Structure 1
Amino acid sequence: MDIRGIGYAVSGIEPRRSPLSYIISGNATVTVKGLALPFSFQFSEQQRDFRQPFNQFGVSPTYKWIRVHLGYRSLSYSRYTLDGHQFLGAGIDLTPGKFRFSAMWGRFLKAVQEDTTKQQQQHNNNFPYAAYDRYGYGIKLGYGTPANFFDLSFFKAKDRESSVRNNPVEQYVQPGENAGIGLRTHLSFLKRLTLDVDAGVSAYTRDTRADLVSAEETPLVNFAKGILTPRVSTSIYYAGDATLQYRDRQFGLALKYGYILPDYKTMGMYYMQTDVERVTLIPSFNNKKNTFQVRASVGKEHDNLQRKKLARTDRLVGSFNCNVSPKPHYGISLSYSNYGITQKPGLKSLSDTTRLDQVTHSIVATPRYTWQRSSSIHTFVFVFCDQTLNDNNKLNTQHFNMTTVNNTLSYSVFLNGSGVGINASAYKVNTKVSVGVTTSTGGTLGLSKNLLKNRLSSAAGVNYSINTFAGANDGSTLQLNTNHVLAAGRRNRFRADLVYTLNNSKSGALNRSFHELLVTIGYSYQF
């Protein structure tokens, strides 16, 4: 169980959080004669003015091959039907032998009435967003083991129109309905090959008040009628992905393919990138001693799958990661990524001034060295990071090109006898954009120590940087922080954190001058 009280104060800028807040949360598992009762809960004062409930409690007791879900829970049947969306309700999982069964029912959204008076007073959109009560259920049937299984799932949810007293005026919110079928499988064969497939079909009605469909009977219409009421606002989508992978002790190779129709959606997930077809090849290798590891990825994706957009966007995606550790005390990590976006004509030809043509790449190098003695451990780490966005469009080049270079050298030492830790770093961050060059140069210094026979862990640090803009001094930023953790017995922990930030801006080009204080007091109990 964890209890935290948070105090906040700021001057010079708009507050970024509430002056006083608290969070009470916990996770625990109680076992009684083979019956496991894992439960979780979360409470916060934000319930008074939050778009959806923040106070939560849930439990998932388990006995042998039976598991029950009660309260606020989340389940995943398929990426394209029910995938991790939190609900308030009940569910059950049955796994006797190779048989796999799961079912759930609950509320996915709580109704929120539109407050037009509050909206007119707050023009920054910081007000509750209207929503209908949304209830749904899901069923999953499957057979197999973790190495080889086949699952078929069905999910359906619908908004209750009567849960909102008046139709939202300022916010365009409609009561919807959704039903979908998902298929998920994992197969292992020939010892080193695996195949993963996840696919789904979703029928989504954006407005249940729309007219009924009176079109000629078609296979799609018949499918929709079997699981929901087809209306003129109903659309049917399909999507899926597959991964074929080979893996042995040293070498791996994976081929991934994904296809998601535009606007694919289901009420059982929060968000998904749609209108995309992608192919990705992922090789990997590590030597026998595991001192050399490399992993790469190269792929291509594009949108405009239904050829209804004015242009098609192609993306070239590539990455490379390498870790070399000849000896345990030194090594280097290297990574490189490159993402290219181009457009091809769709319904309308493109001119050089409107065509999207961007390339983003980043390079990160991190050499490290550790020097260990009987009384102390010294560690040196250097980080170089170069990130660049190049816009090849003639009209946008001067506005959107951006380069950021970060150089950081850090050193830390731990004194074994006294339990004292010291860390220091120096950095320089240079960002070049169309309006000028911004530079932040500074350093950090930190100290940590265990006290009271290691029952109290205390640390303090300071970060100071000098900022420049277009070659001129633009002030400085000072940040002080301290944190303390006290162990009272084996199960009790008390914690206190403080962060103070003083930003001094001379020109106001980057940001304004402000003072900010954040204090956190906490208590935790480990069962």
Structure 2
Amino acid sequence: MLRTSRIYFTIAFSLLLAIAMLAISPSLKAQNVDIEEVMSFRKKKPIKISGSISTSASYFSAKPQQARQSFTYQVTGAVNISVYELFNIPLSFNLNNYGSNFSYPSLPNRLSLHPSYKWIKAHIGDVSMTFSPYTMSGHQFTGLGLELTPGKWQISAMGGRLLRRVDFNPELPSIRPTYERWGYGLKSRYDGDKFFIGGTVFTAKDKAGVISFDADALGLSPKANLALGIEGGLSLIKDLQWSFEYGLSLMQQDLRTNARQTYHAFKTELSYELVGNHIGLAYERISPDYETLGAYYFNNDYENLTVNYSRNFFSDKLSLALSGGVQRDDLSGDKKEKNKRFVGSANIGFTPSERFSLSLSASSFQGHRNIKSSFDYINQQMPYENLDTLNFVQLNNSLDLNMNWQVKQSEAQNHSLSASLGYQEGADKQGRYIMPGKLTRFLNLSSNYSVDFSALKLAINFGVNGSNNYALRKNMFTFGPMLNLNKRLLKDAMSMGLTLSYNQTRDEGELQASIFNLRYQASYRFLKRHSLNASLSYQGRSFHNLQTPPKSSITSQIAYSFSF
């Protein structure tokens, strides 16, 4: 199997590399010397630096004392160095002391360079890239990445450390030790006028010999992976598009053995547009336990079929989007349970004028599970017999409504009203009956009225929020107002804001807790490119009819930023 994996990798890598060289070479030969462009260099700045740098520090204290880190700081920056306005070198960094006493597979500090020249772009340092959802997909690495876009070609390559080694610390058992992991990948794609075709190869491997912990005792093992992908699309006729993507993953869960697994993933989509109607059909199938070392998480063991439709009406004032589908799991038939899910959603948007907009979203989810044999149905004598083992259904329905209305608009003042409603319901159902204690409902309502006095440079926002949560046969209600004031001073160079909020939580009508929040913030811009920000917030919690003492916390923060 190891020899087969190496053969797959060698063939795929050689093929993609050859395609990449063929794509680049014509583009290099086609570069002609533009005399006017060369002469214009004298009018351009040889070096131009732009960007921004900011730093912040915060302090947190609470009674009683909490485990949260009391003092934190952060320095971030994004700098671009331009050479004759043609060659760009972006630099970004993020330095902080978050979790300074811990070790992580990926550090919170970041330092990266992204130089570019015409159709060439590089990624250096702590970066991430995506080749395809089935191979390399957004995994951060420390190393080098390259993106080339000559003509109709897209070529990407990467190499670097995916995970740093983390040793076992008995004082911090929650921090999981890891092997050092390195990965390499290459992607090539060609976009024609009526088609596109591309391929991906990615490989990663742990350094099995470089550890200082007992891997067997911790249930860890060094891994290796080879992932291959191919994608394509075709314009069959006018406004009819078809695309597909296939992924193959060869996983070795333990380098100390020769056991390897092969996984497959496939997705295809068909879309058609006819007289303003958009119709789509999609199918996806991912093998059980599908994974690669180029992504943090994978949904697997499912087969999904979806249909969608969308259209705009009345000169785009009304929009409608519908979607529905079915999903099932246990593709290999090895599980004791089988699930089938039905999903449907609808989104409606209504904008009759620039001053009013309304949107509605609704979705319904039903999951069916059956863990009985046919003989259980045959031998059933009573309607409630063996009710806990037959025809299990999980229901989940949601509804969201949002409204925005510009009530009044003039030179002196502006009035606006916004409101939103969110409702979600979930239940576990067996047969025709909802299981006791398995029904949950969540309702959230909010409304805000804002007034902006332009002449006074004062903005006032008043809001009311309420939520009702029904679970475990108990009804919990939270309600409270919110007030926000914002004042602009010194020719809008300075602004100050004050926010107050108060809410109460009741369980079956009985008061449980009260929370008060107070926040003050100020910002000041000076010398065009400098700004200072400061904030101070207080929160107090009091508990009723509970043996819990009151809690309070204060958080202060100051920040400075400079743009150039």
TM-score, shorter chain, exceeding 0.5: yes
Shift of 1:503: 1.4
Shift of 1:35: 0.4
- Structure 1 contact 307–347 (Cα < 8 Å) conserved: no
Please show how residues 125-140 of structure 1 align to structure 2 within 5 Å: 125=174, 128-140=175-187
The 3 A distance-change label for structure 1 pair 19 and 181 is: same
Shift of 1:264: 0.7
Q: Aligned match of 2:388 in 321, 332, 353?
A: 353
Q: Aligned match of 1:185 in 216, 229, 232?
A: 232
What's the CA shift string for 1:41-79, capped at 9, x where partnerless?
111213441313222211111111222221111111111
Q: Aligned match of 1:378 in 415, 422, 425?
A: 415
Shift of 1:161: 1.2
Q: Aligned match of 2:370 in 341, 344, 367?
A: 344
Please show how residues 90-239 of structure 1 align to structure 2 within 5 Å: 90-119=144-173, 125=174, 128-144=175-191, 148-168=195-215, 171-210=218-257, 231-232=258-259, 234-239=260-265
Please show how residues 58-457 of structure 1 align to structure 2 within 5 Å: 58-119=112-173, 125=174, 128-144=175-191, 148-168=195-215, 171-210=218-257, 231-232=258-259, 234-247=260-273, 250-287=276-313, 289-345=315-371, 352-354=387-389, 356-371=392-407, 372-393=409-430, 397-457=435-495
Rounded to whole Å, the distance in 2 between the matches of 1:347 and 1:172 is 36
What's the CA shift string for 1:269-312, capped at 9, x where partnerless?
11121111111111111125221111121111011011100111
**Whose radius of gyration is greater, 1 or 2?**
2
Question: 2:27: which partner in 1?
Answer: none
Rounded to whole Å, the distance in 2 between the matches of 1:146 and 1:157 is 35
Shift of 1:368: 2.9
Amino acid in structure 1 at the alignment position of 2:388 = T
What's the CA shift string for 1:428-466, capped at 9, x where partnerless?
211111152111111101011211111112221111012
Shift of 1:160: 0.3
The 3 A distance-change label for structure 1 pair 380 and 117 is: closer
The 3 A distance-change label for structure 1 pair 133 and 473 is: same
- Structure 1 contact 79–198 (Cα < 8 Å) conserved: no
Rounded to whole Å, the distance in 1 between the matches of 2:123 and 2:478 is 50
Identity of aligned residues (%): 26
The 3 A distance-change label for structure 1 pair 426 and 112 is: same
2:88 is the counterpart of 1:36: yes
SS of residue matched to 1:353: helix
- Structure 1 contact 78–199 (Cα < 8 Å) conserved: no
Shift of 1:169: 5.9
SS of residue matched to 1:131: coil
Shift of 1:177: 0.3
- Structure 1 contact 459–483 (Cα < 8 Å) conserved: yes
SS of residue matched to 1:378: strand
Question: Could you tell me the TM-score, scaled by structure 1's length?
Answer: 0.89
Question: 2:58: which partner in 1?
Answer: 6
SS of residue matched to 1:68: strand
The 3 A distance-change label for structure 1 pair 506 and 277 is: same
The 3 A distance-change label for structure 1 pair 467 and 182 is: same
Rounded to whole Å, the distance in 1 between the matches of 2:388 and 2:66 is 38
Question: 4+ residue runs of structure 1 moved beyond 6 angstroms?
Answer: 346-350
- Structure 2 contact 103–166 (Cα < 8 Å) conserved: no
Q: CA RMSD in A?
A: 2.3
Rounded to whole Å, the distance in 2 between the matches of 1:107 and 1:449 is 49
Shift of 1:392: 1.0
Q: Which 10-residue stretch deviates more, 195-204 or 132-141?
A: 195-204
Question: 1:523: which partner in 2?
Answer: 560
Rounded to whole Å, the distance in 2 between the matches of 1:324 and 1:518 is 42
Question: Could you tell me the TM-score, scaled by structure 2's length?
Answer: 0.83
2:104 is the counterpart of 1:51: yes
Shift of 1:512: 7.1
What's the CA shift string for 1:71-116, capped at 9, x where partnerless?
1111111111111101001122222222332221100000001112
- Structure 2 contact 89–113 (Cα < 8 Å) conserved: yes
The 3 A distance-change label for structure 1 pair 87 and 438 is: same
- Structure 2 contact 372–389 (Cα < 8 Å) conserved: no
Q: Which 10-residue stretch deviates more, 279-288 or 441-450?
A: 279-288
Q: Which 10-residue stretch deviates more, 57-66 or 239-248?
A: 239-248
Amino acid in structure 1 at the alignment position of 2:395 = V
2:507 is the counterpart of 1:469: yes
* Unmatched runs of 5 consecutive residues or more in structure 1: 120-124, 211-230
SS of residue matched to 2:209: helix
Q: Which 10-residue stretch deviates more, 138-147 or 337-346?
A: 138-147
- Structure 1 contact 310–348 (Cα < 8 Å) conserved: no
Q: Aligned match of 1:480 in 498, 504, 518?
A: 518
Shift of 1:349: 8.4
Q: Which 10-residue stretch deviates more, 37-46 or 389-398?
A: 389-398
The 3 A distance-change label for structure 1 pair 117 and 407 is: closer
Count the aligned residue pairs. Answer: 497
What's the CA shift string for 1:168-218, capped at 9, x where partnerless?
3663221100001011234445342333322210011111012xxxxxxxx
Amino acid in structure 1 at the alignment position of 2:75 = I
Q: Aligned match of 1:507 in 542, 545, 555?
A: 545
The 3 A distance-change label for structure 1 pair 307 and 189 is: same
Rounded to whole Å, the distance in 1 between the matches of 2:296 and 2:317 is 40
Rounded to whole Å, the distance in 2 between the matches of 1:473 and 1:354 is 39
